Amino acid sequence: MDTNDRLTIAGREFKSRLWVGTGKYKDFIETKKAIEASGADVVTVAVRRVNITDRSKENLLDYLDPKKYVILPNTAGCYTVEDAVRYARLARAAGVSDLVKLEVLGDDKTLFPDTAGLIEAAKILIKEGFIVLPYTNDDPVVAKKLVDIGCPAVMPLAAPIGSGLGIRNPYNLKIIMEQVKVPIIVDAGVGTASDAALAMEYGADAVLMNTAIAGAQDPIAMAEAMKYAVHAGRLAYKAGRIPRKLYATASSPIEGML
Amino acid sequence: MFESIQIQVNGQPRACRAGATVGELLRELDITSERVAVELNLEILDRKEFDHRGIRDGDRLEILSFIGGGSQSMEVARNCLRVVRSGTWTRMIG
């Protein structure tokens, strides 16, 4: 991998352009192996009540070396500004960093973000010194607003969370990538490796996924596939693809033919 | 016998020794991890306060930590995984 091609957000440098969630795995061993195979150095985690009745249960963070991974807490499951802000503050208090992947959900069937609530919550948290990475819709206007209020990156969805539908609106994502001058992390909805490669070919700076890996028949193999897909997509984007044409252009010269 | 007070921890009623600190309660609950957040009556405590903040009768504590998560709530996630692994999902789309 090209070590000069690093992703930088709010002054932090990231090695990998594939970020992964840690939910839905069979167990922590599988989680750890899949993350290792993915090569990701950013992993998202959720904030939940500690099980106080059964302390025998192991902790996810025992399996993830904080020196090796950037732990990115999210506000998953929050449907109001108040809840999202509360969870973000709790995540910071639990002591990883000021980073938060901010989610304010608007609908429990689609898990689409409530973008009005998202902007409101982002404003509050940015004022408190958080580095807010907002999970947003594929809406260029909202993406611009999020940047205007101080988000150092935006995370538009490809499709509903966990849907595996791939990039539903490539044109909107393209517009976001052209118009927004901060890193774009395509978040949610990726189903398989080609979806991730496509996101990167369009010009995304990174891709974040969870279900596409954890829900695969072989999560560890899929994690590896995603690593190569993101890398291939990035290289293709930087290489610059040929324009699409309706008719053929011969690859072999006519000269010298009989 | 120590004097006992009633508190709520993570939504569950619980008896606690009068005068105990948050730090003592955490140790009693066998919560040794550094990566926990404690909310006392909706106020998020700084970790440095754990051993100084006393617990009073009727206090409501929330003790939280990090768990595996990508996006969405765990309930939805679990249902989703069941669907994904059982193969119905592919059939639904395909």
Tokens of A14: 């990231």
Percent of chain A with pLDDT over 90: 76
pLDDT at position A25 over 50: yes
pTM as predicted: 0.86
pLDDT for position A51: 85
Please, what is the end-to-end C-alpha distance for chain B in angstroms? Answer: 66
pLDDT tens digit sequence for B45-93: 998 899 999 999 999 999 998 888 766 544 444 444 444 444 444 434 4
The per-residue pLDDT for range A170-212, each reduced to its tens digit, is 999 999 999 999 999 999 999 999 999 999 999 999 999 999 9
Q: Tell me if chain A has a CB within 8 Å of the CB of B86.
A: no
Q: Is position A101 annotated as part of the catalytic site?
A: yes
Taking every pair of C-alpha atoms in chain A, what is the biggest distance, in angstroms? 85
Residues B24-35: tens digit of each pLDDT? 999 998 887 678
Residue A187 and residue B71: Cβ atoms within 8 Å?
yes
Q: Please give the average per-residue pLDDT across A20-25, as a whole number.
A: 89
**CA neighbours closer than 13 Å in the CB half-sphere of residue B91:** 5
Q: What is the ipTM of this complex?
A: 0.82
- Which range is least confidently modeled, A20-29, A219-228, B20-29? A20-29
Tokens of A240: 């610059």
CB–CB of A52 and B35 under 8 A?
no
Residue A61: predicted pLDDT: 79
- Mean pLDDT (chain A) is 92
Residue A26 structure tokens: 């069979």
Q: Collect all residues of chain A within an 8 Å Cβ-Cβ radius of residue B62.
A: 49
Supply A223's token pair. 């994690």
